[in-house]
Structure formats: structure tokens, C-alpha cells
């Protein structure tokens, strides 16, 4: 297996996790990190550079961009210019224009550009995607997500829509293999920050599936749940625990008159699947490595990250304008084929 030389730019929580996983996977060598505020007293056993130029001069094949969102474009474009493959944390950029410049830069140089929408690599959602493709749910009617938890003090440059809801936008289109075509949103600002900290929005996908998403930084409990309802029942994926449960539509007729008068579906069997639970970040890095070495599919591409960000911006606009926003396909949109 080819051994790639990696660097990590940004040593926040995610940057440190990336550094750890890079050291654990086969075919990867962490050779340096960049963080101007961590150069003193760092104990990663690799050079800690204050500037990106120093890392590039040391020679790297690939890098992880884990700096604040507003810096993604600047750092990624410098990596592209240097011929370095990149895995950029989500969201891909601060705005769609920047995301498009990034995607174009990596494409024009035949470099692998990936975006860290890590939920796709969660074992519960990967199993769910496979089961949907196999037709186990029949026609899909609705996808609903709940992503709630306390405020993360490390996030200061974007609101909850671009930071958290982009997970739900990406995973929903990926599960359904269909892009968003309309959104309608409401937001609030309760923590005194300039950006929204709570959003509730509905969506409609290109194939007619309707969606509902509740995302906030204001809940004392942490929740990461995806519910897919369809012809034969409903799947519930908990990405905190990596669990997937199927609630089957019942087929047995009831003899209880008060219940039989109800014309909807009835409860059937409940199945909780036994899944092999590998760390999603490790799976993501393996996919990134294989895309560089062998050109294998499996990463979240920058074009896909661009399409997701375009939906997030439509959600922001919808809340501001207090109306439904129609979403036009963006250049390079690949959500429908993911």
C-alpha cells in the first residue's frame, strides 16, 4: 500500500482527532501540523509549524483543513496550488462562491478534494443507505432529523445552519439519492450571538420526498436521530450510538373495534440490527486515502459539499425572507447520484 505524507492544518478538537486517526490508518504518515497558537509546548511528536509554508516546504501529499470555516477557502486554494490533496472539514466554505472556487481549483489540477461530512460514514447510516437501495422500505415518503445539543464554544464564525444543519442536508440527500428543490425555515437567536442558534425547516427533494429538520445549540441533551418513513415501515438511525432500528408496518388484522376504526398503519415487528461499529472518522480517512491512491469512489466530493452549502444558504434566506425558497441545481451538483 502506498504511504502518503499527511499534514493537519488547525489543532482544534477536530484537528487533533484527524491527527490521531491519520496515525492509526495503514498507508498514512503524519509528518507535520500547522497552528500558530499551538507551536509552544505541543506534544504530537511531529513538527508543529506556525505557518502553512513551512509544512508545504517539508513535502506533503495530502492535508486536512480543520481551521475556522472563514479560512477554508484561503487554505484550500494554497494546497491546490501546491498540488496537495485535501480533506476540508464541513462546511466546505463560508459561502457558495468560495466553495465553487475551491471545487474548480482541485478539479482543474486533478487533485482529490473531499469534504468532512462525517455522518455518511456512520455505521447506522451506511447500513440504512444500503437497506434503502435494496428496497427494504419500499417507496420512501419522508426523512426527518433531529440534531440538538448544548452550545459549542469552539464555533464562532458561522451559525447552526452552516455548522450543524449541513450534516442533515448532506445525509438526507445522500440517503434519498435526490437533491433538495425547496426549503422553508424559521430561526432564532437566543444566546446573544450574531448567528442563529436554532433552526426548524422543511424541505422537498427532487423525487418528491418531504423532509423535516430540527437543529439547535440550545438543548441540554445531545440528540442525533434520523427517521426514514416509507411504504413498509420506518427506520430510525441513532448516530450517537451507531444503532439502527426498523419498525415494521403491521399486517395482522385487529379484533379491537376502537382500534380497527383507525385507517392508518398498525404496529408490527421491531428489529434492532447488530452492526459492526467502526469509528466514522477512520472510515472517512480510509476513503480519502483510497481516492488518492486508487481513485476509488466513496468520499464526499467538493461538488457535493458545494451543493449542500447552496441548500444551507437557501435555508438562511428562507428564514430571513419568511418564505419558501426554490433551489435551482448548482454547477456540478451530484447529490442525486450519491
According to DSSP, the β-strands at 140-148 and 85-89 are unpaired
pLDDT above 60 (res 94)? yes
The answer, yes or no, to whether residue 332 has pLDDT greater than 90, is: no
Other Cβ atoms closer than 10 A to 54: 14
Band the pLDDT of 158: cuts 50, 70, 90.
confident
Q: DSSP readout, 10-26?
A: --SHHHHHHHHHHHHST
pLDDT digits (tens, 9 = 90+) for 242-273: 999 999 998 665 566 655 555 566 678 899 99
Q: Indicate if the pLDDT at residue 146 is higher than 50.
A: yes
172: its cell numbers: 438526507
- Is 36 in the same domain as 133? no
Q: Which of 330, 309, 327, 335 is nearest to 184 (CA)?
A: 327
CATH number of the CATH domain containing 80: 3.40.50.720
Domain count, the chain: 2
pLDDT value of position 151: 80
Mean pLDDT over 21-33 rounds to 95
Asked if residue 132 and residue 41 are part of one domain, the reply reads: no
Residues 135 and 70 grouped into a single domain: no
DSSP 330: P
Lowest pLDDT segment from 33-37, 176-180, 333-337: 333-337
**Any idea what the CATH number is for the domain that residue 322 is in?**
3.30.360.10
What percentage of the chain exceeds 90 in pLDDT? 81
User: Average pLDDT, whole number, for the chain?
Assistant: 91
The answer to whether 169 and 181 have CB atoms below 8 angstroms apart is no
Q: Strands 4-9 and 48-49: what pairing?
A: unpaired
Range of the domain at 67: 4-118+282-298
Q: Are 158 and 230 members of one domain?
A: yes
Same structural domain, 192 and 105: no
Same domain assignment for residues 78 and 140: no
Alpha carbon distances (Å) from 60 to 3, 7, 110: 11, 6, 16
> Do 100 and 205 fall within a single domain?
no
Q: Does 44 score more than 90 pLDDT?
A: no
Contact present, 167 and 175 (Cβ < 8 Å): no
Contact 332, 106 (CB under 8 A): no
Residues 94, 183 share a domain: no
Looking at the structure, tell me whether residues 144 and 225 fall in a common domain. Answer: yes
Q: 124 and 114 in one domain?
A: no
C-alpha span between 86 and 61 (Å, rounded): 9
pLDDT of residue 337: 32
Instruction: Write out pLDDT tens, residues 68-90.
Output: 999 999 999 999 999 999 999 99
- Of all residues in the chain, what percent carry a pLDDT higher than 70? 90
The cell 481513485 sits on which residue?
A: 295
Length of the chain: 338
Provide mean pLDDT across the span 217-238. 96
- Are residues 8 and 65 located together in one domain of the fold? yes
* Residues 147 and 292 reside in one and the same domain: no
Grid cell locating 246: 426498523
Class of residue 202 by CB neighbours under 10 A (exposed 0-12, middle 13-18, buried 19+): middle
Residue 192: per-residue pLDDT: 78
Alpha helices in 35-157 (DSSP H): 52-58, 72-81, 96-108, 123-133
Amino acid at each position: 500500500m502506498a504511504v502518503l505524507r499527511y499534514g493537519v492544518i488547525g489543532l482544534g478538537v477536530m484537528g487533533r482527532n484527524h491527527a490521531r486517526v491519520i496515525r492509526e490508518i495503514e498507508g498514512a504518515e503524519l509528518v507535520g501540523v500547522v497552528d500558530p497558537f499551538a507551536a509552544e509546548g505541543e506534544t504530537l511528536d511531529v513538527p508543529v509549524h506556525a505557518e502553512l509554508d513551512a509544512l508545504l516546504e517539508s513535502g506533503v501529499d495530502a492535508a486536512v483543513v480543520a481551521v475556522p470555516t472563514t479560512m477554508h477557502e484561503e487554505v484550500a486554494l494554497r494546497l491546490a496550488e501546491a498540488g496537495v490533496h485535501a480533506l476540508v472539514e464541513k462546511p466546505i466554505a463560508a459561502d457558495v462562491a468560495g466553495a465553487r472556487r475551491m471545487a474548480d481549483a482541485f478539479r482543474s489540477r486533478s487533485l482529490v478534494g473531499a469534504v468532512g461530512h462525517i455522518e455518511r460514514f456512520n455505521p447506522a447510516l451506511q447500513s440504512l443507505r444500503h437497506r434503502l437501495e435494496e428496497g427494504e422500505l419500499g417507496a420512501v415518503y419522508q426523512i426527518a432529523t433531529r440534531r440538538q445539543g448544548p452550545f459549542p464554544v469552539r464555533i464562532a464564525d458561522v451559525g447552526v445552519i452552516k455548522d450543524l444543519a449541513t450534516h442533515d442536508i448532506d445525509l438526507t440527500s445522500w440517503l434519498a439519492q435526490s437533491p433538495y428543490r425547496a426549503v422553508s425555515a424559521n430561526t432564532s437567536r437566543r444566546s446573544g450571538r450574531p448567528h442563529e442558534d436554532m433552526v426548524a425547516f422543511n424541505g422537498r427533494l427532487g423525487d418528491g420526498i418531504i423532509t423535516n429538520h430540527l437543529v439547535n445549540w440550545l438543548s441540554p441533551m445531545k440528540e442525533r436521530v434520523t427517521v426514514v418513513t416509507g411504504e413498509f415501515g420506518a427506520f430510525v438511525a441513532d448516530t450517537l450510538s451507531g444503532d439502527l432500528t426498523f419498525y415494521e408496518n403491521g399486517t395482522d388484522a385487529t379484533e379491537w373495534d376502537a382500534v380497527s376504526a383507525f385507517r392508518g398503519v398498525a404496529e408490527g415487528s421491531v428489529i434492532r440490527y447488530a452492526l459492526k461499529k467502526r469509528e466514522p472518522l477512520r472510515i472517512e480517512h480510509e476513503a480519502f486515502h483510497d481516492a488518492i491512491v486508487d481513485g476509488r469512489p466513496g468520499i464526499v466530493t467538493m461538488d457535493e459539499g458545494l451543493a449542500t452549502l447552496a441548500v444551507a444558504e437557501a435555508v438562511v434566506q428562507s428564514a430571513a425572507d419568511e418564505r419558501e425558497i426554490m433551489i435551482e441545481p448548482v454547477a456540478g451538483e451530484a447529490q442525486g447520484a450519491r
